[in-house]
Structure 1
């Protein structure tokens, strides 16, 4: 995808153009010039022409378009792409790569990803009003036409998916990693249920009949499971039952201060 004119104007509106090198924040490592062009190639007191500023902008936009295209694995509409390029132009490719925003987006969690924009509002450890406004604009742009992109993403997922059927006689468990080999590990899927595993997105579609659409789940998400303590239970017995450790159970249940002090009907988390 390529940045639209609307996206380019958004970047220009926030960056502004300055033909003499400057530092927006004194603690920044490098100098900035033109439309926010930042890096080791910019020198103190350097001056450029408007044509050079335009050339820097064109090269930087192409670099950050590539960064978004290479790192985002889900469907985007033009507004979402523009918002992400603007974000990456300002924060950098490495920031995009390590961000929870990208992690959530690649899980198909568009709304949760959008909420991450406004967290990137600091420079030098301080909240800057300009960044607060920019993130708000990028978030708003990202959320335009969201229902349509989700619909297109689902169409794409179904088109590239493969269908499997569980064969176990008992309740089975499925994970994205085990879907191809049909091993039963995680996900609480009933035996005999058809499921569609999308290889590109790691999603599973549960349905009662082959070829009939069902509901999409992400098997890589943390699945919480609970157990109600019975008379005679100990934490060691519960740990053995769920093939885990007492230490893990304590970590999942901060309210358990003493492993010997559990009681009947107490509900504890085991996963």
Structure 2
């Protein structure tokens, strides 16, 4: 097949996907960027001309720094917890699950079969003052007046629960492709468990770790449902503040500017990750 004909065939195959991304991804993103430069109209929930950078000036106000830092802290802690909890699960599935592997994989995927919002509401009921968790802990003197809602721990717990499968699945794929004979060879050469894990296992599953960290950190950074339902004003994140601007705050330019800044942060993180991956290779 000649070059021009091959190009036409490839373009035809990619056209539906390109059209879909253009209409449902790039067009809304362009609209958000446009709103971020607009002037707020306090009469209605929309943005109007003339264009200005006032929304970005407000979004970069030092008053928002604690919220920004809290957002990064939640995302970072959630990612680390998902990695610590997810790796043993993925390792067990590939090494010791045997004929039960498919059943356990389905168990990992079961949460995706229900609404994320409904699951967070379930955690809200569990962590409430009259919830099961608080009542059980009260039996051993660890209960808390009002339960564990409106705390940083509740938000991190909800985020970790919600995004844990996104860490387990790429780690499972990486562990399944890992050559376990390398572990035996490391032991035969006199390496201990810790040295084998750090020098053999970690480099072997690093692509899965990298993918899992990305799949967890990005949505955890922008999540606003979990902090709103399980946290309070003191647990507000950048995502919840953006949501406030589009609903009760009636300030679409500010919400759009914050969304653009959050998107830029994610893009920078992705670029740094890709550069680090290239350095490793």
| TM-score between the two structures when normalised by the length of structure 2 | 0.21
Compare the two structures and name the one with the higher helix fraction. Answer: 2
- Higher alpha-carbon Rg: 1
